[in-house]
Every structure is written in C-alpha cells, then in structure tokens.
Amino acid sequence: MDTPRRVSRRTARPVAAFGAALALVAGLSAEAQAANGTLSYRDSNGIDHAKDNPTDGVCYSFTSEAGSVADFTDTDGRLFTGSLCEESTFLINIHAGSSLVFGGTKPRSARLGG
C-alpha cells in the first residue's frame, strides 16, 4: 500500500512537468513579432545594408549615417539620429512600404513596431 508521501511524489512529478510545459508554451507565445519584409538603408559610403524580417521593438543601429532608408515591411517604424534609438534623438516616422532620402540631418538607427 502506498504511503501518503509516495502518492504526493507521484502526483507532484506530472504536475511539475505540466507546469514546465505550460511555461514553455506561454513563453513562446510572448515572443516578439517580426515585421514581414525588408528594412534597408544606404550608408554615407554608398553601401546598401538590409535586414529581412526585422523584429518589432528592436533597435537597429546603422554603421554610419543613412542617406536613405526604405521600410519595405508591413510595419511602421521610427528613425533616430542617435545610434541607440533614444527617444530624445527621434527624427521621423517611416511608414510601411515607403522610403525616405535625407539631405541634412540623417538617421543612425531605426526601430519598427512597438
């Protein structure tokens, strides 16, 4: 006959396994979304750079000031003169499916979505 201690151990293992599985599933559903498409820019040396399916809310720093930026994704973004997407360096919004060319002040980073 099982003692109460043995029964509780047998019950605790499946409950712990279920809890771990639930945490894993919940954690995966909370992952950041990716914008579908390409975020690209041309740096001050005329070199083109591109990031396919960039993650929403992540700051993408440019190698140098961008003369142009294209947001050919399905997500609007924000451009910054600082390299770390600091709100104090916000330059301009960039809409999904559009591109911008810069003459004076140029962006050094971008963040899409959240």
Report the range out of 13-17, 31-35, 41-45 with the highest average pLDDT: 41-45
CB 76 within 8 A of CB 96: yes
Cα dihedral 83→86→87→90 (10° resolution): -10
Nearest alpha-carbon partner for 56 in 39, 35, 71: 35
The residue-averaged pLDDT of 18-42 equals 63
Q: What is the pLDDT of residue 20?
A: 41
- Is residue 53 pLDDT above 50, yes or no? yes
Q: What is the pLDDT of residue 27?
A: 38
Chain segment 78-87, per-residue pLDDT in tens: 999 999 999 9
Beta-carbon contacts of 43 under 8 Å, excluding residues fewer than 6 positions away, are 49, 62, 63, 64, 65, 66, 67
Chain segment 57-71, per-residue pLDDT in tens: 999 999 999 999 999
What average pLDDT is seen over the chain?
82
